[in-house]
Structure 1
Amino acid sequence: MAFTRWLSDGLRLCSETRRGLQIVTGPDSRITVPLRLVLTSPNSHWVVRADGGYYDGLSGVPLVWDGAAFVTDPQARTYAPAYTTPPSEPIGAQLTVTFRVRYTSDTAIGAATEDICTALTGGPPGGWGTAEPATDVWRRERLSELFWSRGAEATWLTIVGTGATPAVGTMLVSKTGDAVEEAVTIVVGYADPRDVPAAALPGLLGGIAAGRHLISLFAQLGNGRADLTTVPRWLGPPAPIGMAVGGMVSEVPGIPAQQIGDARSPAVWYVLGDGRQQEGWQRYEQLTRHLQGGF
């Protein structure tokens, strides 16, 4: 199931009435990356109907109908059995890169997204849209035209890659003072987890900081289908690879770091793990505490 125009309209209505978006499917359904990201918002659920009951397809938590919406079953003490049943299809790996970057020139909207997509997949995004499928041909000037035609209101978009490796993502473009901010999530799929370029990420992603204001970037790896759809099954937890922070950031004891970017726009890449070891989350918590403390 994709985040179609019909669901986009439904999400807008839910937002206006302060409700979450909830969709109901069977246990054999799959959803796309944009729809999965939308369904992580408060009160939203991927409601999966199985074994005479319901559960959240992203968390496995049993759900019940309270007369107005699906909510967590207060009597549940474990995950839904269908959620913990291993999938029968082959599972690969999904690399997720989330970043925020700020521009002082509105003509640069989409530049960082284009750079990262090219670095990770071998080609720039091929299409974009306000829903799925992303039918508009990727042209950065069109992104700026759409954003300003809406009075610089926050604009949410889907993007799709065209490189040798499949990639799908979302963009949120918004006005911040005199600058434009771009918040992006890109997910790249691999049939063979050994093909994920975890060790090469600092070099591949370092270019995003050069000549622009990188706020933050986070990369993590998880099990998932190479076609980037999500199944309502437990596939194991993701694990962090690294995090980049813009500006002159200090060293953090026990966390390897290297400079990326350039002299005009310095940034630091912190190595958190290889995307397989859960210990990386401990380093992530240590790093975020350090950054929030103002070092």
Structure 2
Amino acid sequence: MTKDVIALTPKMPDTWALLAGLYAGGPDLAVDTGHDGAVVQLCAADGRPLVSLEAPLLVQVPGEAERLLGGQVEAPQGPFWWTEARASTALPEAERLAGSVAGRLTTLLGGATWPPGAASTEVVPVNEAEVSARPAAGGAHPTVDVLTESTAVVMCDRPLIALTAWLSHILRTAVESRRALQIVTPPGVRLSLPLRTALTGAPNRWVVKDPDCGYYDGLSGAVLRWQDGTFAPARDAKGEAVVAEAFGAPPLTSERQLIVAFRTVHNPDENLVLGHALEAAWQALTGAAPAGWGTAEPINLPWSARQLTDLARDRAPEPTQLLAVGDPARPALAGLRVTRVERGVAADATLTLGYGADEAPPLDAVQALAATLAADPGLDQMFVSLRRGRRDLAVPAHFEAPPIPVSYTLGADGVRSAGLAHAERPPLALRPVPLGPPSEPALHYVLGDGTDAAAWPVLEQLTAHLQRGAAL
């Protein structure tokens, strides 16, 4: 398990500042680098890692420190540098060592550290006889705690676990080596929405320690046991999975989340600019464009549809997974996945917005948004739903009710495929609203207000009806 200390500085940590930080353990510790210089490690003389220091990241998006670290730390005004020092728990002094690394950076450069009180400038003596950590095996990332043939296990202890660059790298490496990524945390920890999305689906898991059952899956509630080099569901006498009591549903919250998922498909010409549909959705539902974008958390770049398009083009034909965040006053996060498909370039976006008990989700703006997207022939489909969930969009380790459908919009190509007459008359008590050019309309189906779960079977019947039309 690692203990994290983060330095937030208004100036970039240059070579001399990093050297001063790395001297926190005195002259007897060795310095090593890994992953093309992106990670610097303080190591015992025999190479055992004690503290891993990530390359500093320039964060130019307001509110990211508060979103990921809470109100315990005041980030510098304007753009700032985010530098993470992660201490191995294999040595009692390693956390103090990480705090001294971060404290030396903020002493030289200004700024703040997280968690509060962790920073110091003392030299932390290390008793190498007490170090139990070993060098990362097989090229594994230095913060992988356990590596087996089937699983990479990372142990984290911070209030909110985000999809950081180093976790994203571990996940990507795990996929390439056909391993699962399993993140182990104490109780009370939450995941960021992007990390929750990245962990969706076994064998990847969020493993929560529990005093009663040992471990359980923070996303499904299944009690887990360490079996054959991985965490897997425990079974009762009937061979069925057991759900942890701690996963039980808490009292209903009045906070809600509006989820807008849509796909657009574009011709892959040189003038293509991605992200305009996502920007239009953000503008329609919040009154402002996204604040920033990036490939990991913290989301660090000011919003630019042109720049994210350039990145996706550079990575083609491989898919590109991007993130976007909004103004801190209106919690909003989006994932954007860009892939090559037979028809061109597909952009799958999922925008999630948080609302407090005294805030009304803008359901009356959904049809207008559908009309805006339908004006572009690239719209494939859009699905809008509403759920009870935290305003800050963080994911707790207990049951959350699934979202309830609000509306479904079928783009012009889908309407043409299903047949306009067929798509306009589903065997249901609803009639769609035509949007876009009358000659090639999209169809917008209103399914409810997000409070009645009976909208789910209606949606299933609708999509089945449209698929039958397309198959004719």
Q: Provide TM-score, normalisation by structure 1.
A: 0.92
CA contact (8 A) 2:234 2:242 kept: no
**What is residue 257 of structure 1 aligned with on the other side?**
432
Q: Could you tell me how far apart the structure 1 residues matched to 2:274 and 2:250 are?
A: 41
How far off is 1:24 after superposition?
Answer: 1.2
* CA offsets 1:241-279 (integer angstroms, 9 cap, x no match): 111111235121223321223347621111222111110
Within the candidate set 294, 300, 306, 1:129 is matched to 294
CA contact (8 A) 2:266 2:343 kept: no
Q: Could you tell me how far apart the structure 1 residues matched to 2:295 and 2:207 are?
A: 24
* CA offsets 1:84-138 (integer angstroms, 9 cap, x no match): 15269x6510111111101224532111111111111111111111111110111
Match of 2:190, SS state, is coil
Within the candidate set 259, 262, 269, 1:99 is matched to 262
CA contact (8 A) 1:217 1:244 kept: yes
CA contact (8 A) 2:321 2:335 kept: yes
CA contact (8 A) 1:238 1:276 kept: no
**What is residue 205 of structure 2 aligned with on the other side?**
45
Q: Could you tell me how far apart the structure 1 residues matched to 2:446 and 2:406 are?
A: 6
**What is residue 183 of structure 1 aligned with on the other side?**
348
* CA offsets 1:161-210 (integer angstroms, 9 cap, x no match): 12752210111111224621101111100002750122441123321121
**What is residue 18 of structure 1 aligned with on the other side?**
178
CA contact (8 A) 1:128 1:136 kept: yes
Q: Could you tell me how far apart the structure 2 residues matched to 1:80 and 1:256 are?
A: 44
CA contact (8 A) 2:387 2:404 kept: yes
Match of 2:313, SS state, is helix
**What is residue 94 of structure 2 aligned with on the other side?**
none
1:119-158 maps to which residues of 2 (within 5 A)?
119-158=284-323
How far off is 1:19 after superposition?
Answer: 2.9
Letter in 2 for 1:59: S
CA contact (8 A) 1:100 1:182 kept: yes
Match of 1:212, SS state, is coil
**What is residue 54 of structure 1 aligned with on the other side?**
215
CA contact (8 A) 2:233 2:242 kept: no
**What is residue 223 of structure 1 aligned with on the other side?**
388
How far off is 1:52 after superposition?
Answer: 3.8
Q: Could you tell me how far apart the structure 1 residues matched to 2:313 and 2:241 are?
A: 49
Unaligned ranges ≥5, structure 2: 1-160
Letter in 2 for 1:276: T
CA contact (8 A) 2:370 2:444 kept: no
Letter in 1 for 2:192: T
**What is residue 120 of structure 2 aligned with on the other side?**
none
CA contact (8 A) 1:211 1:265 kept: no
Unaligned ranges ≥5, structure 1: none
Letter in 1 for 2:243: Y
Q: Could you tell me how far apart the structure 2 residues matched to 1:172 and 1:41 are?
A: 17
CA contact (8 A) 1:122 1:164 kept: no
Match of 2:456, SS state, is helix
Q: Could you tell me how far apart the structure 1 residues matched to 2:440 and 2:203 are?
A: 39
Identity over aligned pairs, percent: 38
Give the alignment's Cα RMSD to 1 decimal. Answer: 2.1
Match of 1:165, SS state, is coil
CA contact (8 A) 2:324 2:333 kept: yes
Name which one, 1 or 2, has greater alpha-carbon Rg: 2
Aligned: 1:274 with 2:434 = no
Letter in 2 for 1:258: V
Match of 2:197, SS state, is helix
Q: Could you tell me how far apart the structure 2 residues matched to 1:193 and 1:18 are?
A: 46
**What is residue 159 of structure 1 aligned with on the other side?**
324
CA contact (8 A) 1:121 1:164 kept: no
How far off is 1:225 after superposition?
Answer: 0.8
**What is residue 73 of structure 1 aligned with on the other side?**
234
How far off is 1:77 after superposition?
Answer: 5.3
Gap change, CA 1:193 and 1:14, over 3 Å in 2? farther
Within the candidate set 281, 294, 306, 1:116 is matched to 281
1:193-212 maps to which residues of 2 (within 5 A)?
195-212=360-377
Letter in 2 for 1:112: A
Q: Could you tell me how far apart the structure 2 residues matched to 1:291 and 1:47 are?
A: 40
Match of 1:227, SS state, is coil
Aligned: 1:9 with 2:169 = yes
CA contact (8 A) 1:123 1:163 kept: no
Letter in 1 for 2:275: G
How far off is 1:83 after superposition?
Answer: 0.8
Moved over 6 A (4+): none
Range that drifts further, 127-136 or 269-278: 269-278
Q: Could you tell me how far apart the structure 2 residues matched to 1:77 and 1:33 are?
A: 26
* CA offsets 1:38-64 (integer angstroms, 9 cap, x no match): 111342111111124222212222222
Match of 2:375, SS state, is coil
CA contact (8 A) 1:103 1:180 kept: yes
Gap change, CA 1:143 and 1:73, over 3 Å in 2? same
Q: Could you tell me how far apart the structure 2 residues matched to 1:125 and 1:82 are?
A: 36
Q: Could you tell me how far apart the structure 1 residues matched to 2:366 and 2:316 are?
A: 36
CA contact (8 A) 2:385 2:405 kept: yes
